Amino acid sequence: SDAGPHGLAIIDFFVDTNDSGAFEDTQDTGFRVASDYNLATWEGWRQISHPMSETGISEADLGKIVAIRLLLISDKNAQPDPPLQVDFGIDYLIFTEGAALEL
């Protein structure tokens, strides 16, 4: 993150609840991880861990995740006019089982 006040991180998991093998917008379920990662509190790289148990996805649905969307965007509604540049990036997206990643 660039430690600016206008960055948002949003993570969505899409679950194939009707067992069709793909996500169907009108039939399947999406779960959004709370975007409370305050990107304004640090500059540089940071490890973020979020337990799947906090997403609302059941154990049965964890095996049916067919898509993940990760958005790093500017909170346009909070931006001044003209808007400021927002800089951030993702390095490694890693999933672990049973515990957070230990470095």
**Angle ∠(22,26,31) on CA atoms, nearest 5:** 70
The confidence score (pLDDT) of residue 99 equals 79
Would you state the structure tokens that stand for residue 70, as one six-digit string?
């990760």
38-67: b or e for each residue (b if 16 or more CB lie within 10 Å)? Answer: ebeeeeeeeeeeeebeebebeeebeebbee
The confidence score (pLDDT) of residue 72 equals 76
Between the CA of residue 44 and those of 35, 48, 58, 88, what are the distances in Å?
Answer: 19, 13, 34, 9
33 vs 20 pLDDT, higher one = 20
Q: Tens of pLDDT along 69-97?
A: 887 777 777 777 887 777 777 777 788 88
pLDDT band at residue 102 using 50, 70 and 90 as cut-offs: confident
pTM above 0.75, yes or no: no
The confidence score (pLDDT) of residue 2 equals 65
Nearest by Cα to 59 from 9, 101, 102, 98: 98
The confidence score (pLDDT) of residue 38 equals 59
Q: Tens of pLDDT along 23-66?
A: 887 777 788 776 555 555 666 777 777 788 877 888 888 888 88
